[in-house]
Structure 1
Amino acid sequence: MRVVIGLCLLAPFVAMIWVGSYAKTDPTFIGIPFFYWYQMAWVIVSTALTMIAYKLWQRDQRARREGGSR
């Protein structure tokens, strides 16, 4: 579970740090160069992945508490 949480939090970092993969203008999206809309898309994706990681963390902590109290 914690590996999945780590991957959810690491994916946006890796996607943004690897600038060479998105430092281009094509394809454009509604007139916006790829460089800009790719980064804006990652804002939304990062939010979703962080939310998923948080929910998974809560579930993991709850399971550990219930398992430890027996």
Structure 2
Amino acid sequence: MARRARANRIWYLLLVPPAVAPLLTPLYNRIEPTVWGLPFFYWYQLMCAVLAMVLITVVHMATRERRHEWQ
């Protein structure tokens, strides 16, 4: 059991980039380049939100306990 808990901690490291990336304001505080008329500021934040959803799903699927559906 402890071995599995240790392995799960590695998966949780994937949750760090979606939490840190939006905090790096100087990195995306600009207008150019634009995508479909959206300034970089907005599409970077949208990309961060999509990346967070994907990584949270991956971590959840990798670390969840396997349960029987009929219990």
TM-score (norm 1): 0.75
Aligned to 2:11: 5
Identify unmatched segments of 5+ residues in structure 2: 1-6, 67-71
Aligned to 1:26: 32
Amino acid of the residue matched to residue 6 of structure 1? Y
Question: How big is the shift at 1:6?
Answer: 2.1
Distance in 2 between the 1:15 and 1:4 partners?
19
Distance in 1 between the 2:10 and 2:25 partners?
24
Larger proportion of helix:
1
Aligned to 2:54: 48
Please state whether the residue corresponding to 2:50 is helix, strand or coil.
Answer: helix
Aligned to 1:16: 22
Percent of aligned pairs with the same amino acid = 30
Query: What's the RMSD between the two structures over aligned residues?
Result: 1.4
TM-score (norm 2): 0.74
Identify unmatched segments of 5+ residues in structure 1: 63-70
Structure-to-structure mapping, 1:47-66, within 5 angstroms: 47-58=53-64, 61-62=65-66
Question: How many residues matched?
Answer: 60
